[in-house]
Amino acid sequence: MFTAIKKGRLVAGLVVVSAAVALAGCSSSNPLDTASTSSASGAASGPIVIGSQAYYSNEIIAEIYAQALEANGIEVTRQFNIGQRDAYLPALESGEVQLFPEYTGNLLQYYDPSTTAKTSDDVFAALQTALPQGLEVLDQSPATDQDSYNVTKAFSDANGVTSLADLSKVTTPITLGGNSELQTRPYGPDGLKSTYGVTVGFTPIEDSGGPLTIKALNDNTVQMVNIYSADPNIKTSGLVTLADPKGLFLASNVVPLINSNSATPEVVSIINKVSAALTAADLVDLNSQSVNDQQSADTIAKNWLAKVNLF
Amino acid sequence: MNLFFDGIAWILDSANQGGPGGWIARLGEQLAYTFGAVAIAAVIAVPLGYLVGHTGRGRDLAVSLSGGFRALPSLGLLILLGLGLGIGFRAPLLTFVILAIPPILAGAYAGFEAIDRKTIDAARALGMTELQIVGRVEVPLGLPLLIGGIRSGVLQVVATATLAAYVSGGALGVFIFEGFSTRNYAEALGASILVTVLALVLEGIFALIQRLVVPRGVVAKEPTEIRTRSSRPVAVAGLPAQEGK
Amino acid sequence: MKWLSSNWDLVWQLVFAHVALSVPPIVIGFVIAIPLGWVANRYRVSRGIILLVLGLLYTIPSIPLFIFMPLFLGTPLLSPVNVTVALTIYAVALMVRSAADGLRSVDPDILQAASAMGYSGWQRFWRVELPLAGPVLLAGLRVVSASTVSLATIGSVVGVSSLGYLFINGFQRNIPGEVITGIVATLVIAVVFDLLLVLVGRLLLPWSRRDSRVRARDVARSRTAVLTGAG
């Protein structure tokens, strides 16, 4: 009798172990697909699950959404800090996460890499059709936070570079620093080559334009870095953001991405009010409170909602 | 189709092998971190461990240090050092040195401790100086356990060196971070397979070395079998159910 | 520490999340490792195979293991279960060696004596073998506990809440104090777990203190054996 129990335990143990041995012995080519098929497709009832990127600024916006909904008696669950777009969009499509602060340009390029839309309105319009079934965006905010290429003041002065078009004049090799996914983005090294005819090397730095990126730039390990335009470091470190006359980067406004099942009129109206109130200057200011004043996302969100007299 | 085979295919694809960004170069970086960190750690930890093992002083401190360091989160340490030292190999290397010290320290002092006291007393009776005892008796006899500690340090570092890419320190982790953030899972998995195989090969090499370094005339067995057998084994056991009475 | 003073709530939340993430793998890993260790100890062949396979598992880098978990568990991508299972695998990998060593450290004469006294195999295992292996098991469990608490921080890289959040967030915001807080809090949790385990050990294994001379050496050795990977 006891041998049976022992065997049972042993089997349980071996199952766990062999599961690991069979690492990736599954027939799907995309491990993240399993998530979308295995979980229920969006629940309209129950708390709204709000997600955020593993990016402090995105988390502040998500926290603002959360507090705004809570102030109106809607229950929310925070599922913050979920890696990059490639990791969380499948979770949104499956309904595992229901509301997410996004950026129009980057999101559009994710779903439609060959898009030609450049201006804020065009991008927003194109995004509406590019989104997969079950996902929708609410009103976009005037606040923008888009990728931008930056150089040091010294580099800009020495080479006479203020625009991406000027880069072709630079004779020394240029290495671009940014998160590793930048390497394959349409506005990455390949885009620079095709749009501006500039060839650059690439060094991945995984801090989303954070301190290491800036340090690498100042140490001249890299000569140009990708930093989001709402990052207060651009100002505090005295960097020069290169102009983009040919529209390599798309306009990228803050926009709430929501699973359609959760887009009740009440939720939509609350979040739209938030989006309308959030200006570009506000966003830089919120980020600065986080980076320079070391405030928590919770406090920053609370103060901003009070400041703009929402809820 | 099958992700595992995609990973193998990624490894076999010659486009991913050569050049400074190919996996062969990254594997070299992974090995350089591993042996560089372990070598530096050994220079620090072996003399310290020998001192503790020979004198018996500071033993408790050494034990709790080697135990406590296991809880030190390597990602946090790496990031903290990265914030101070910037991108490149310095922050990861320093992190891995710190990671490799505890097992090597433990191996060094445990190697000395596992030696039967009678052997050392005999050496002393023969008129050996303390230095001779260390050099001719304790070091050779303690070698198997020291190599064991170094092996453990190597294995820990080789698996953790993937984190170096987080602060742009290169090595095989580059493919893992890049693969996941660009949905190239074959790449991420291929690199993971390489790390695992690398660790396995190192493990095999060390098992061999451990067998080779055993001094002639000494049977390398676990420390429990080296110790003098307790003179009253039965008393150790008792019968738990009745002991309270 | 400006950051800490305005983020106490966050730190507490993460400490609780971290504890909740670390405890199940330690407990489940221990429970799984005992029978595996028993099998490993019983036959020469199974010892080689089990220790080799688990040693191999321990070398799989944690980030890919966390991320690939949903693939064969069928769990949602962001579920903490992925990290729990991955940490359990590591815990088992570490613990089985201690379990095998612990069971082997029991004097065969004692087992024979127990059988002679009329214990069945099952009774003998529970009432003699397991308790006598206790000190060595405890030493192994303490290592597993420290290692699991430390590894749980990596869960944050895949979006599962733990103290590792403070590393990633502090990294982006360039706040060393936040990263240091994360490291210190992780160490504190590890130390508290360790003290608890020692306490539980004293309560459950009162005899291990009485004959401390011999046992302490055994335990110390098995502990260093786990640390050095020897044995």
Residue A30 to residue B183, Cβ atoms within 8 A: yes
Structure tokens at B149: 């500690």
Residue B78 to residue B91: CA distance in whole angstroms: 6
Same-domain pairing of A187 and A160: yes
Q: Which of the four pLDDT bands, split at 50, 70 and 90, describes residue C227?
A: low
Task: Please give the residue that has the higher pLDDT: either A229 or C160.
Answer: A229
Q: Is A43 contained in some domain?
A: no
| Domain parsing of chain B, residue ranges | 2-243
In this predicted structure, the answer to whether residue B114 has a pLDDT above a threshold of 70 is yes
Among A278-287, B19-28, C28-37, C214-223, the least confident range: C214-223
Residue A180 to residue B177, Cβ atoms within 8 A: yes
What pLDDT was estimated at residue B41? 95
Same-domain pairing of A262 and A229: no
Same-domain pairing of A196 and A74: no
Q: In this structure, are strands A224-228 and A254-259 parallel, antiparallel, or unpaired? A: unpaired
Out of A241, A266, A283, a domain closes at A241
Residue B180 to residue A86, Cβ atoms within 8 A: yes
Same-domain pairing of A130 and A256: yes
**Among partner residues A29, A83, A184, which is closest to B3 by beta-carbon distance?**
A29
Residue C113 to residue A127: CA distance in whole angstroms: 78
In this predicted structure, the answer to whether residue C202 has a pLDDT above a threshold of 90 is no
Among A206-220, A225-239, B48-62, C48-62, the least confident range: C48-62
Q: Which of the four pLDDT bands, split at 50, 70 and 90, describes residue B93?
A: very high
Same-domain pairing of A76 and A217: no
Nearest chain C CA: its distance from A174 CA (Å): 24
Q: Is A69 contained in some domain?
A: yes
What pLDDT was estimated at residue B240? 31
Question: Among residues of chain C, what percentage have pLDDT more than 70?
Answer: 88
In this predicted structure, the answer to whether residue A22 has a pLDDT above a threshold of 60 is no
What pLDDT was estimated at residue A26? 36
Give the contacts of B69 (CB within 8 A, at least 6 positions apart): B98, B99, B101, B102
Strand pairing partners for A257? A100, A137
In the CATH scheme, what is the code of domain B2-243? 1.10.3720.10
**Interval B15-34: pLDDT, tens:** 888 877 889 999 999 999 99
Q: Is A175 on the interface with B (CB under 8 A)?
A: no
Which residue type sits at A309? N
In this predicted structure, the answer to whether residue A5 has a pLDDT above a threshold of 70 is no
Out of A212, A241, A270, a domain closes at A241
What pLDDT was estimated at residue B215? 66
Task: Please give the residue that has the higher pLDDT: either C2 or C202.
Answer: C202
What pLDDT was estimated at residue B217? 61
Same-domain pairing of A260 and A135: yes
What pLDDT was estimated at residue A23? 33
In the CATH scheme, what is the code of domain C2-228? 1.10.3720.10
Q: Neighbours of B (≥3 Cβ pairs closer than 8 A)?
A: A, C
Domain that holds residue A101: 48-144+251-308
What is the mean pLDDT of the segment spanning A110-128?
89
What pLDDT was estimated at residue C223? 57
Residue A270 to residue A82: CA distance in whole angstroms: 24
Q: In this structure, are strands A135-137 and A99-103 parallel, antiparallel, or unpaired? A: unpaired
> How many beta-carbon pairs under 8 angstroms link A with B?
75
What is the mean pLDDT of the segment spanning A56-77?
94
Which residue type sits at C64? P
Same-domain pairing of A201 and A68: no
Residue A255 to residue A79: CA distance in whole angstroms: 18
Structure tokens at C114: 């127990």
Structural domain count, chain A? 2
Output the domain CATH number for residue A210: 3.40.190.120
Residue C76 to residue C78: CA distance in whole angstroms: 6
Closest listed residue to residue C143, CA positions, set C177, C102, C113 = C102
Q: Is A76 contained in some domain?
A: yes
Structure tokens at B185: 């899972």
**Interval B179-212: pLDDT, tens:** 877 778 888 889 988 988 898 899 889 888 878 8
Nearest chain C CA: its distance from B114 CA (Å): 8
What pLDDT was estimated at residue A15? 37
What pLDDT was estimated at residue A184? 83
**Interval A131-172: pLDDT, tens:** 998 999 999 999 999 899 999 999 999 999 999 999 988 989
What pLDDT was estimated at residue A276? 93
**DSSP one-letter code for B137:** I
What pLDDT was estimated at residue A42? 40
Average pLDDT score over chain B: 81
Within a 10 A sphere around the Cβ of C6, how many other Cβ atoms?
16
Burial of A141 (0-12, 13-18, 19+ CB in 10 A): buried
**Among partner residues A32, A291, A298, which is closest to C174 by beta-carbon distance?**
A291
Residue A188 to residue A182: CA distance in whole angstroms: 5
Structure tokens at A177: 């620093």
What pLDDT was estimated at residue A104? 94
What pLDDT was estimated at residue A177? 93
What part of C 43-102 touches A (C-beta under 8 Å)? 53-54, 57, 60, 65, 67-68, 70-78, 85, 88-89, 92
What pLDDT was estimated at residue B1? 45
Same-domain pairing of A130 and A86: yes
Same-domain pairing of A229 and A282: no
Question: Among residues of chain B, what percentage have pLDDT more than 70?
Answer: 87
In this predicted structure, the answer to whether residue B56 has a pLDDT above a threshold of 50 is yes
Burial of A149 (0-12, 13-18, 19+ CB in 10 A): buried
Q: What is the CA radius of gyration of chain C?
A: 20
Q: What is the pTM of this model?
A: 0.80
Q: Which of the four pLDDT bands, split at 50, 70 and 90, describes residue A70?
A: very high
Burial of B103 (0-12, 13-18, 19+ CB in 10 A): buried
Residue B167 to residue A206, Cβ atoms within 8 A: yes
Q: In this structure, are strands A201-204 and A175-178 parallel, antiparallel, or unpaired? A: parallel
Which residue type sits at C110? I
Out of A241, A260, A282, a domain closes at A241
Within a 10 A sphere around the Cβ of C146, how many other Cβ atoms?
26
Interface residue of C3, C126, C162, C172 to substitute, partner A, most A CBs within 10 Å: C172
**Interval A30-44: pLDDT, tens:** 434 433 333 333 444
Same-domain pairing of A94 and A138: yes
Within a 10 A sphere around the Cβ of A36, how many other Cβ atoms?
19
Output the domain CATH number for residue A71: 3.40.190.10
Same-domain pairing of A208 and A179: yes
Total length of chain A:
311
| Domain parsing of chain C, residue ranges | 2-228
What is the mean pLDDT of the segment spanning B74-86?
91
